[in-house]
Chains A and B, each alone.
Chain A
Amino acid sequence: MSKNLALFRKTRIVENQIDDFLDCITESGLIFLRAIKIYLENGACEDFDAATKQADDIETRGDGLRRIIEAQLYEQTLIPDLRADVLRLLEDLDNLINITQANCYRFAIESPDIPLEFHKEFLHLTETVIACVDAVVMATRAFFRNIEAVRDHISKVMFYETEADKISSKLKVMAFSSDLPKVEKIHLRYFIERIDELANEAEDIADALAIFTIKRSI
């Protein structure tokens, strides 16, 4: 019986760690949004560097949590039937943090020139991909606690991903039909695609989550 009580205690700890990990993803999204706002207003300034540092810290924290969770799932042979799915899910979600961190660094290092007329749509794209990331985090939380709600969140992910695609296409058209030098056009396209990548990754996670959910329903 004491073994079972220990199991419940350990389970609760892992549950909290998973929640913390998901918080990291949401947080990294919000930091990325803030970083983009700062960049659009003031370029790669001190505040932007601070945001990049924050994204860096969160990435490290997220990685640490993911490793601990993975180790616990294996060591305590928790959820044996769904462990492989959950591990893949955690890895993929961690990738979202990696992308936001890498994007911050890209902006800091490459300092792309974003003309003023692009600012509104750039911000709109970032807000949409972050909404998409939020939705996939919500879907993941639902996968752990309230399986019935997963579907609703997944449909939101799909919606935001399509929106992000539309905005990024619009931005690319704007860039390539502008008078900017070719090299800047290509540079802009690169950053549009890097931001949009977050939504694409979130969509892939949502697709996998839909299958895991079917497996999870008894």
Chain B
Amino acid sequence: MDIIILLFLSSGLFLGWSLGANDAANVFGTAVGTRMVQFTTAALVCSIFVVLGAVFSGSGAAHTLGKLGSVNAIAGSFVAASSAALTVYWMTRFGLPVSTSQSIVGAIIGWNIFSGSITDSNALIKILSTWVACPLLAGLIAAPLYQLTRRVLKSAQFHLLRLDAYTRVALIFAGAFGSYSLGANNIANVMGVFVPVSPFTDFDLGGFMTFTGIQQLFLIGAIAIGVGVFTYSKKVMLTVGDGLMPMSPVAAWVVVIAHSIVLFLFASEGLENLLASAGLPTIPLVPVSSSQAVVGAVVGIGLLKGGKNINWNVLGKISTGWVTTPIISALLCFFTLFFMQNVFNQQVYKAVNYSLMPVAMDRLVNMGLPAEDLKDLEGKSFANASAFRAAVLERTLLSKSQETNVLRSAEIFYTRITPGKLNNIDRQWLGEERAKILDGLSGKSFMYKWQLSDEISRQSDQWKLHDQTTINKVYNKQINSRLDYVYRTFADVDRP
């Protein structure tokens, strides 16, 4: 691997390290702090399960971050990750509550503003609402779980020592689940901004599974988290007990389980698929704050006990963190990008041009969009999405979905289907029929992504997206991920 790429990845690794150093304490802090579980056991279990969670379930939350903004140059990803890491570092130094999730979202928005990309307001609202929902949900899960645990223990009447032994085992299992959820949910914070520029390529693992480039990226990030756990988290774990309120090991177990369930809910694609296939509303897959889930759970239990011991200032500080962290991180990212681009002469984003060529105008007409109003934009080229959108909105009034369709229709993305690339595609994953359709397009070039997708879905139903209903969500997601793969693979990098 190019040394410069490794250098750029280092900011993500630093972010991973600090996540491991701090957030592992949310999972194993009380267990280690109260000496119920040895630090080495906790660190080992934590590291293994963080890696498993990140590699096997990490892509869901990363996908949502990707929707918010797709950082498309590795120097830009480096700046975004370092801005987020520095924000976390500074705010922690000043004793302000901070979350990696909020920090990285701010950094991505900073990149979007700098590069002229549009921040997807739907994705942003989705993310912001989960930040509020995360501690609330943790509290709502912790309170009844606490009651239930109390009842079970009351009726079971374990000897104090037996209860102690059971609690130790339960804390290890809860910690493993917590670490898995932490890896699955928060790897997006660490490596999410590197996904679109991942330098890794997919490879086959003995024919039974494909180890994707993204999984390799997540593995490296998760290892950085593991290093953070082993090198620095002990200190945090041993002091975490003094923080919020003193807790018995059993109450600590309830808190870890509630925290883990929340992180898992916001990360599990499996659960999303299950809910979607049953026609039920799905839970958005978003990186949330592990610390805030813990605070929510503790407050939930505190309220159940009458709310006397709750330090309401902590809650106030959390709410301010939702606002201040992303703003600081966004500003820092914006100005650092400026320096990186103008002082160090690095490409921090690849310009995505927008242009309404005649073929795109036809598409607008076919979609029932007001193409007439945009007639004078035909053939004109815009350097980024913001400039194009401003020009469009000057001329016509569009709904949110119409605006998205116009932007998609005008986004330039050159692809060329070449025999060389066709030889290297993952035919098994794509499906033979889908791959054959691509074979048939050998030698053809496309200017827009939609041209390629229209062409292949015209030739085969296997490439067609179904109606956007909950039940079709899983299927459409699979097709979309294959389409993304096709765009990535056949991108014509020689064209501007």
Contact of A218 among B34, B36, B251 (CB under 8 A): B251
Cα of A7 to Cα of B168 in the assembled complex, Å: 10
Query: Which residues 159-203 of B have a CB within 8 angstroms of A?
Result: 159-162, 164-165, 168-169
- 3 A-B pairs with least C-beta separation: A80-B35, A218-B250, A11-B165
B153 at interface, CB cutoff 8 A: yes
A149 to chain B, nearest CB (A): 9
Cα of A152 to Cα of B162 in the assembled complex, Å: 23
A137 to chain B, nearest CB (A): 15
Cα of A137 to Cα of B164 in the assembled complex, Å: 21
A107 at interface, CB cutoff 8 A: no
Contact of A81 among B146, B154, B158, B249 (CB under 8 A): B249
We find that the number of chain A residues with CB closer than 8 angstroms to chain B is: 24
The dominant DSSP class at the B interface is helix
A11-B161 CB under 8 A given contacts A80-B35, A218-B153, A218-B248: yes
We find that the number of chain B residues with CB closer than 8 angstroms to chain A is: 22
Query: B249 — which chain A residues lie within 8 A by C-beta?
Result: 81
A180 at interface, CB cutoff 8 A: no
A79-B164, A81-B248 are known contacts; what are 12 more A-B pairs with Cβ within 8 Å? Answer: A7-B165, A7-B168, A7-B169, A8-B162, A8-B165, A15-B162, A77-B35, A79-B161, A144-B159, A145-B159, A216-B248, A218-B150
B313 at interface, CB cutoff 8 A: no
9 pairs across A/B with beta carbons < 8 Å?
A: A7-B169, A15-B159, A15-B162, A80-B36, A81-B248, A144-B160, A145-B157, A218-B149, A218-B248
A71 at interface, CB cutoff 8 A: no
Query: A216 — which chain B residues lie within 8 A by C-beta?
Result: 160, 248
Interface mask (B128-160 → A, CB under 8 Å = 1, otherwise 0): 000000000000000000100110011001111
Give chain A's interface residues, CB within 8 Å of chain B: 4, 7-8, 11-12, 14-15, 18, 77-82, 86, 143-148, 215-216, 218
Query: A215 — which chain B residues lie within 8 A by C-beta?
Result: 248
Cα of A144 to Cα of B164 in the assembled complex, Å: 11
Cα of A98 to Cα of B164 in the assembled complex, Å: 30
User: Does the CB pair B159–A81 fall under 8 Å?
Assistant: no
Query: A18 — which chain B residues lie within 8 A by C-beta?
Result: 161
Query: Which residues 227-272 of B have a CB within 8 angstroms of A?
Result: 248-251
Query: B168 — which chain A residues lie within 8 A by C-beta?
Result: 4, 7
Contact of A14 among B146, B161, B251 (CB under 8 A): B161
User: Does the CB pair A80–B34 fall under 8 Å?
Assistant: yes
Of all chain A residues, the one with the shortest Cβ separation from B165 is: A11
User: Does the CB pair B149–A11 fall under 8 Å?
Assistant: no
Query: B157 — which chain A residues lie within 8 A by C-beta?
Result: 145-146
Query: A81 — which chain B residues lie within 8 A by C-beta?
Result: 34, 36, 248-249
Query: A11 — which chain B residues lie within 8 A by C-beta?
Result: 159, 161-162, 164-165
B124 to chain A, nearest CB (A): 40
